[in-house]
Structure 1
Amino acid sequence: MPFLTPDAPPVDPAELLARPRQERIRFLATFWTEYGFGTPKMVHTIYIVKLLVLHIGGGIALATLTSGVGGPLDVGQWWDQPVIYQKLVLWTLFLELFGIGGTWGPLAAHFKPMTGGIAYWARPDTIRLPPWPGKVPFTAGDNRSVLDVLLYLATLASFLVAAVAGSSTTIDGLGGVEMVDPRLMAVSAALLVLCGLRDKILFLAARGEQYLPILLISSLAGSVLTFVDFVVAAKLVIVIVWVGAAISKMNAHFENVVPPMVSNAPFAPRLVKRAHYRSLPDDLRPSRFAWFMAHVLGTTAELVVPLVLLLSTSWTITLLAVGSMVLFHLFITQTFPLAVPLEWNILFAYITVFLFAGHFAGDGYGVGDFSQPWMLPVFVAALVFFPVLGNLRPDLVSFLPSMRQYAGNWASATWAFAPGAEAKLNQLRKPAKNQIDQLVEGMGYPADVAEMTLQMTLGWRSMHSQGRGLFSVMQDYLGEEYETYSLREAEFCCNSVIGWNFGDGHLHDDQLIEAIQRRIGFAPGEFVVVWVESQPIHKKTQAYFVMDAALGIVERGTWLVSDCVKEQPWLPNGPIPTTVTWRHPQHRRVLGVTA
């Protein structure tokens, strides 16, 4: 692949766009198998530089230069120090909530400008999405106020203050161990929770489900928790993240995730990419090799190795397990997954080394060394509450607190616009235009090239199980007009509307569509959404709805996951079967006819 130019599908864009939609999806999905998005390596280089200079270099410099544990190059003096661990978490929190961590740049559909985040969340009158507006007092509404902006900025500032001003603090009761002032960690935790209650976008963007427990146990260090307790609690946090993710990947979706993810890895040989599919170009379903990568090197390793780390008192076994999890996170990093969670993976690789090699269980940092055994089950129960609830009732919990990150079992959606209707989204108060306009006006793409680029994401979505269901329902609903609408990947559209997304359909469900409709007022039929919830762990189906922005939800139903995973991305046998459980009594649209 040339360094400065993308790998483009070998077809005239105008000719491709004239083909029937499912034929286009087949062509683009087949192209994806070997080239991914076709992104030039220059873009990946930008991400690598950002990771090395801003996250790793900046984080180490900030953490070490504001602590009495040696300089940035004195790795042997600071790598196992708890204050460094805390400050790197705080620095990562800051980058994520600022908007220059995950879901940044062109790989996350931020083409120009590349940063969403603060450009949206420090701007009054942009859209916010409270998680429980009818239940939590003072959180109703979807308009970002000046107070929301100030709360957001205060939360950002609290992370930096805790990382810098809160350094070099010797915690009473910890035997002289240097840690960040617990009071400042408590302030950061409280502000993050308040931000999240006003706007779930901010809590999820900060990866609060990962880092809030660390802030909380840090705020209890020296008072409720001894240093050993703190380390053991921190171990439990990361182990539950790993194990929760592993359990959530024990499904029929995950093996469909690995092939397109590896195909998008810029440095993976084409031979390895092709090996993940049964028989290119005719059968794009996962191969046995993909199954092995997903469920042996992926799921099994992510389940077994963390438990070994938590329980092992053998130094050799612990080191091997530490190396395995570091390689696990480095592998994910080099694939550049579309949400681009590079900082998170690098931080977790470091945390693995810090916690399990730096504080070996055999040296008195095992779960049996917790000073107050009665607290251990309470702490574990608190950590697993949302993962358990989210897997049983995914409609109640985002897939991130459910610990289903990159498990393939996502709430997802496809947006469909009648001719000319998509441009109305630019009426929203937001710093970035729609992606099609970013590519044409900001990047100088010809209109047909820009359209083909965005339709690459439809090919990508079709390679995942829920994509086949979404396109099936959309075909059934739009009927003869299926070819005339512009289809968009909702995750990408969501980025331009609210400034962030991590593959979480709960950020672009009916709550967001209603907020958009209140501001724009689409006419009936102009903006149609097919949305699907994650699969509950104990069911074989996924529940979907069809929503017309002007009319509300007009249809609900389910499909069998098994029907999705056995079909090809382009649905050669037609739409998969669905069971309609409800239709709006005054609105039914079949084969393009409204009755």
Structure 2
Amino acid sequence: MGFTKPDFPPVDPPTFLQQPLMERLRTLALNWVENGFGTPKVIHVIYILKLLFFYILGGVVLATATSGLRFWEVSTWWDEPIVYQKAVLWTVLLECMNLAGSWGPLVGKFKPMTGGVRFWVRPGTIRLRPWRRVPFTAGDRRTWFDVALYVVLLASLALVLVMPGVATEALLAALPDNTSGLVSPSLVVVPMVLLILMGLRDKTIFLAARGEQYLPAMFFFAVLPFTDMIIALKLLIVVVWLGAGFSKFGKHFANVVPPMVSNSPAIPFKWLKRAHYRDYPRDIRPSRVGDFMAHVGGTTVEILVPLVLLFSHNRWLSLAAVAIMVVFHLFIVSTFPLAVPLEWNILFAYAAIFLFAGFPNEAGYGITDMSSGWLLAVLVAGLLFFPVLGNLRPDLVSFLPSMRQYAGNWASAVWAFAPGAEEKLNSVVRAAPNQIDQLKALGYEPDVAEVTMQQTLAWRTMHSQGRGLFSLLIKHLPDLDRRTVREAEFLCNTLIGFNFGDGHLHDEDLVNAVQRQARFEPGELVIAWVESQSAHRNYQEYKVIDAALGVIERGSWKVADAVNEQPWLPNGPIPLHVTWSRKGPDREPAA
């Protein structure tokens, strides 16, 4: 892999692009095994510098300077409550602006590298409301009211960050020598309310802000006395860890780890990357090494270690568990997963240290030390509500509030354009052009840019739902090899400025919003879309959507059939069970 040049697949682009699609995806999937996305190392350096100097150093300087502390005296502030509070709020601000997760080239933001804020301060861009029945949220275009609400949200977060702390009786009772105080509860209420209002009008910004995790933390900052606040924050982070661990049960997650490891610049040895696959290049399903990394290094760690942290009163055992979780999150950072949740992982590594080493259970901060058993019960029930509902009814809840981060069980989609039809997206009001055009603007030849984008399709096929999605395209599109196929998660970033692996951000609502401006003809844009697997079922439910006609087919496939097949479907499409189909000549795709 070059420092400034990508590690391009060993193909001649013009000749390669004449091959059938699934043959191309086989070549690119095998290349991914050894080289990942092939990102130039300079891009990783940019991410690291952004993480170290902008997020970590910038956040520490801001938190300490506004709290009467010196940033270079780490021993004086690492366990200061206001520093942790401001670390959370700093992260929320950056996420709200899309300067943290889902930023940069690894998510298809090549030029410009920032999406979110550029879209969300621009009237006329696409707005996705979460529920149609909420009054005053009709429409799918951003108005000046939405822009003003968003700007005020950013300003309210910035205000809390720069204001000094205030002392409370509960804080001084627990920490008599504390001089920095806590963030003002009354000031925290303002961004909380604004984030909820913003989320009711545009779920994209709420999810980008990671409202499912940071909103409860802000609520605890605002309403709970100090000791209860610390215990509640412990419950919150443990629920996030346990939710992520529980979501990794099943057949999906083993397919996540090998492609993630293959994409890691921290693992230069190709033999080690290949070891995560059964029999490269003949069989690239997960090997026993891949399964071990997934379900021992992943699932087991995320369930057992947080439980130790929550219940242990042994200082050394707790510190060992803290160290394990810090290493766990740093490992994720080192792999540069395509959603690039680097800041989130750094914050959680710091949270493990702050909460469980700074305020150990045996020092009066265990769950039995909460002031009220009823309060503890209500908090646990509230924190578990969306994870439980989202795992039982994934169609009702985003995979983020469901706490299924990077578990491989995602709502996903691929978009297939008739020749030349992708250009119609240029009529959609947005702040970034098509990714293929972004790469051309960076100097890529058209064929090279196309091969680069098709690598994201190969990445999708290496995950379980990719085998089903491409089975649908093969079934519905006899002209598939001539079409331009795009990974929806990447495409979504050019349409609404953000995506974090959530297919609910590019379902029929987005398709309809795009169609109102792009005006595709029947058959010009056909989308294969699948919902996450619910915890009590062995299948996933899919839709086939024609942008001009709406949903034209519904059905399901068994997860076992998907994970047992090779990414390039050498045996043809996996079995599909059709439950409804729109009949008639008007639904036939254009040849």
Q: If the length of structure 2 is used for normalisation, what is the TM-score? A: 0.98
- Whole-angstrom CA distance in 1 between matches of 2:23 and 2:438: 26
Residue in structure 2 matched with residue 194 of structure 1 by the alignment: 197
- Whole-angstrom CA distance in 2 between matches of 1:593 and 1:494: 24
- Whole-angstrom CA distance in 1 between matches of 2:217 and 2:373: 19
Q: 1:194 corresponds to which letter in structure 2?
A: L
Residue in structure 2 matched with residue 555 of structure 1 by the alignment: 553
**Mapping of 1:318-467 within 5 angstroms?**
318-440=318-440, 442-467=441-466
1:586 is displaced (CA, Å) by: 3.2
- Whole-angstrom CA distance in 2 between matches of 1:142 and 1:274: 45
**Mapping of 1:528-543 within 5 angstroms?**
528-543=526-541
Residue in structure 2 matched with residue 274 of structure 1 by the alignment: 274
Q: 1:87 corresponds to which letter in structure 2?
A: K
Q: Does 1:169 align with 2:166?
A: yes
Residue in structure 1 matched with residue 482 of structure 2 by the alignment: 484
**Does the residue aligned with 1:530 lie in a helix, a strand or coil?**
strand
Q: Does 1:247 align with 2:246?
A: yes
The 3 A distance-change label for structure 1 pair 587 and 202 is farther
Residue in structure 1 matched with residue 212 of structure 2 by the alignment: 209
Within the candidate set 146, 149, 152, 1:148 is matched to: 146
**Does the residue aligned with 2:52 lie in a helix, a strand or coil?**
helix
**Does the residue aligned with 1:553 lie in a helix, a strand or coil?**
strand
Is the CA contact (8 Å cut-off) linking 1:541 and 1:560 kept in structure 2? Answer: yes
- Whole-angstrom CA distance in 1 between matches of 2:585 and 2:150: 41
Q: 1:538 corresponds to which letter in structure 2?
A: H
Within the candidate set 506, 518, 523, 1:508 is matched to: 506
- Whole-angstrom CA distance in 1 between matches of 2:519 and 2:127: 18
Q: 1:207 corresponds to which letter in structure 2?
A: R
Unaligned ranges ≥5, structure 1:
none
Is the CA contact (8 Å cut-off) linking 1:436 and 1:454 kept in structure 2? Answer: yes
1:333 is displaced (CA, Å) by: 0.3
1:136 is displaced (CA, Å) by: 1.1
Residue in structure 2 matched with residue 137 of structure 1 by the alignment: 135
1:534 is displaced (CA, Å) by: 0.2
Residue in structure 2 matched with residue 78 of structure 1 by the alignment: 77
1:140 is displaced (CA, Å) by: 1.4
* 1:307-359 superposed Cα distances (whole Å, 9 cap, x missing partner): 10010000000000000000000000000000100000000000100000000
* 1:240-287 superposed Cα distances (whole Å, 9 cap, x missing partner): 000000001101000000000000001212222111000111100000
**Does the residue aligned with 1:303 lie in a helix, a strand or coil?**
helix
Q: 2:187 corresponds to which letter in structure 1?
A: L
1:40 is displaced (CA, Å) by: 0.7
Q: Does 1:583 align with 2:581?
A: yes
* 1:193-224 superposed Cα distances (whole Å, 9 cap, x missing partner): 1111110000000111110010000010xxxx
The alignment of Structure 1 onto Structure 2 pairs a total of residues equal to 584
- Whole-angstrom CA distance in 1 between matches of 2:582 and 2:523: 15
* 1:66-106 superposed Cα distances (whole Å, 9 cap, x missing partner): 002x2111110000011000001111111111111011110
Residue in structure 2 matched with residue 118 of structure 1 by the alignment: 117
Is the CA contact (8 Å cut-off) linking 2:529 and 2:543 kept in structure 1? Answer: yes
- Whole-angstrom CA distance in 2 between matches of 1:168 and 1:401: 30
Is the CA contact (8 Å cut-off) linking 1:557 and 1:578 kept in structure 2? Answer: yes
- Whole-angstrom CA distance in 2 between matches of 1:484 and 1:347: 45
**Does the residue aligned with 1:240 lie in a helix, a strand or coil?**
helix
Residue in structure 2 matched with residue 160 of structure 1 by the alignment: 158
1:172 is displaced (CA, Å) by: 3.5
Q: 1:198 corresponds to which letter in structure 2?
A: R
Is the CA contact (8 Å cut-off) linking 1:217 and 1:230 kept in structure 2? Answer: yes
1:588 is displaced (CA, Å) by: 7.7
Is the CA contact (8 Å cut-off) linking 1:415 and 1:487 kept in structure 2? Answer: yes
- Whole-angstrom CA distance in 2 between matches of 1:206 and 1:131: 15
The 3 A distance-change label for structure 1 pair 580 and 593 is farther
1:587 is displaced (CA, Å) by: 5.1
- Whole-angstrom CA distance in 1 between matches of 2:409 and 2:505: 15
* 1:130-179 superposed Cα distances (whole Å, 9 cap, x missing partner): 1012x2111111110000001011111111111112x2211243326510
1:4 is displaced (CA, Å) by: 1.1
Q: 2:117 corresponds to which letter in structure 1?
A: I
- Whole-angstrom CA distance in 1 between matches of 2:453 and 2:225: 53
* 1:30-62 superposed Cα distances (whole Å, 9 cap, x missing partner): 000010000010000000000001100000000
- Whole-angstrom CA distance in 1 between matches of 2:586 and 2:357: 61
**Does the residue aligned with 1:415 lie in a helix, a strand or coil?**
strand
Is the CA contact (8 Å cut-off) linking 1:554 and 1:588 kept in structure 2? Answer: no
Q: 1:331 corresponds to which letter in structure 2?
A: F
Q: 2:16 corresponds to which letter in structure 1?
A: L
The 3 A distance-change label for structure 1 pair 136 and 593 is closer
Q: 1:283 corresponds to which letter in structure 2?
A: D
The 3 A distance-change label for structure 1 pair 587 and 71 is farther
- Whole-angstrom CA distance in 1 between matches of 2:244 and 2:157: 27
1:589 is displaced (CA, Å) by: 6.0
Q: 1:433 corresponds to which letter in structure 2?
A: P
Unaligned ranges ≥5, structure 2:
none
Q: Does 1:24 align with 2:21?
A: no
Residue in structure 1 matched with residue 259 of structure 2 by the alignment: 260
Q: 2:228 corresponds to which letter in structure 1?
A: D
Q: If the length of structure 1 is used for normalisation, what is the TM-score? A: 0.97
- Whole-angstrom CA distance in 2 between matches of 1:367 and 1:271: 46
**Does the residue aligned with 2:479 lie in a helix, a strand or coil?**
helix
- Whole-angstrom CA distance in 2 between matches of 1:529 and 1:587: 18
**Does the residue aligned with 1:169 lie in a helix, a strand or coil?**
coil
Q: 1:138 corresponds to which letter in structure 2?
A: F
Q: Does 1:306 align with 2:306?
A: yes
Q: Does 1:497 align with 2:495?
A: yes
1:16 is displaced (CA, Å) by: 1.0
Is the CA contact (8 Å cut-off) linking 2:524 and 2:590 kept in structure 1? Answer: no
Is the CA contact (8 Å cut-off) linking 1:226 and 1:371 kept in structure 2? Answer: no
**Does the residue aligned with 2:529 lie in a helix, a strand or coil?**
strand
Residue in structure 2 matched with residue 567 of structure 1 by the alignment: 565
Residue in structure 1 matched with residue 293 of structure 2 by the alignment: 293
1:228 is displaced (CA, Å) by: 1.1
Is the CA contact (8 Å cut-off) linking 1:277 and 1:286 kept in structure 2? Answer: yes
Is the CA contact (8 Å cut-off) linking 1:430 and 1:497 kept in structure 2? Answer: yes
**Does the residue aligned with 1:139 lie in a helix, a strand or coil?**
coil
**Does the residue aligned with 2:55 lie in a helix, a strand or coil?**
helix
The 3 A distance-change label for structure 1 pair 84 and 322 is same
Is the CA contact (8 Å cut-off) linking 1:548 and 1:554 kept in structure 2? Answer: yes
Q: 1:525 corresponds to which letter in structure 2?
A: G
Residue in structure 1 matched with residue 49 of structure 2 by the alignment: 49
- Whole-angstrom CA distance in 2 between matches of 1:243 and 1:359: 20
Q: 1:47 corresponds to which letter in structure 2?
A: Y
- Whole-angstrom CA distance in 2 between matches of 1:206 and 1:85: 17
Q: 1:428 corresponds to which letter in structure 2?
A: V
**Does the residue aligned with 2:541 lie in a helix, a strand or coil?**
strand
Q: 2:436 corresponds to which letter in structure 1?
A: I
Is the CA contact (8 Å cut-off) linking 2:523 and 2:590 kept in structure 1? Answer: no
- Whole-angstrom CA distance in 2 between matches of 1:158 and 1:272: 48
Q: 2:581 corresponds to which letter in structure 1?
A: R
1:226 is displaced (CA, Å) by: 2.4
Cα RMSD of the aligned pairs, angstroms, is 1.1
* 1:492-513 superposed Cα distances (whole Å, 9 cap, x missing partner): 1100000000010000000100
**Does the residue aligned with 2:433 lie in a helix, a strand or coil?**
coil
Residue in structure 2 matched with residue 39 of structure 1 by the alignment: 39
* 1:532-583 superposed Cα distances (whole Å, 9 cap, x missing partner): 0000000001000001100010100100000000000000000000000001
- Whole-angstrom CA distance in 1 between matches of 2:584 and 2:476: 15
